[in-house]
Structure 1
Amino acid sequence: MGTWDIGHFDNDTAADFSGTLDETPLAEREAVVRRVLTLAADTGAEDYLDCDEAVEAVAAAALVASQCPGGEPVTTSYGPDEPLPAFPADLRPLAAKALDRVLAEESELAELWDETEEGPAWRRTVKDLRAVLRPEPEPVGEALFEV
Structure 2
Amino acid sequence: MITAMGTWDVGHFDNDTAADFSGKLDDAAEAEREAIIRTALTSTIESDEFLDSYEACQAVASAALIAAQLPGGTPITTAYGPDELLPPLPEDLRALAAQALDRVLGKGSELAELWDESESGPQWRQSIADLKAVLLA
- Provide the TM-score with structure 1 as the length reference: 0.89
1:104 maps to what in 2? 106
Q: Give the Cα separation in 1 of the matches to 2:110 and 2:58.
A: 13
1:128 maps to what in 2? 130
1:15 pairs with one of 19, 23, 33: 19
Equivalenced residue count is 133
Q: How much is the aligned-residue C-alpha RMSD, in angstroms?
A: 0.7
2:70 maps to what in 1? 68
1:40 maps to what in 2? 44
Letter in 1 for 2:103: R
Q: By how many angstroms is 1:93 displaced? A: 0.1
Secondary structure at the aligned position of 2:9 is classed as coil
Letter in 1 for 2:30: L
1:4 maps to what in 2? 8
1:24 pairs with one of 14, 22, 28: 28
Tell me the alpha carbon deviations over residues 76-134 of structure 1, each in whole angstroms, 9 at most, x when there is no partner: 00000011010000000000000000000110000000000000000000010011111
Residue segments in structure 2 that go unaligned for 5+ positions in a row: none
Larger helix fraction of residues: 2
- Provide the TM-score with structure 2 as the length reference: 0.95
2:53 maps to what in 1? 51
Q: Give the Cα separation in 1 of the matches to 2:71 and 2:102.
A: 20
Q: By how many angstroms is 1:69 displaced? A: 1.4
Q: By how many angstroms is 1:42 displaced? A: 1.5
Q: By how many angstroms is 1:37 displaced? A: 0.5
Q: Give the Cα separation in 1 of the matches to 2:136 and 2:108.
A: 22
Larger Rg: 1
1:139 maps to what in 2? none
Residue segments in structure 1 that go unaligned for 5+ positions in a row: 136-147
Identity of aligned residues (%): 64
Q: Give the Cα separation in 2 of the matches to 1:51 and 1:27.
A: 27
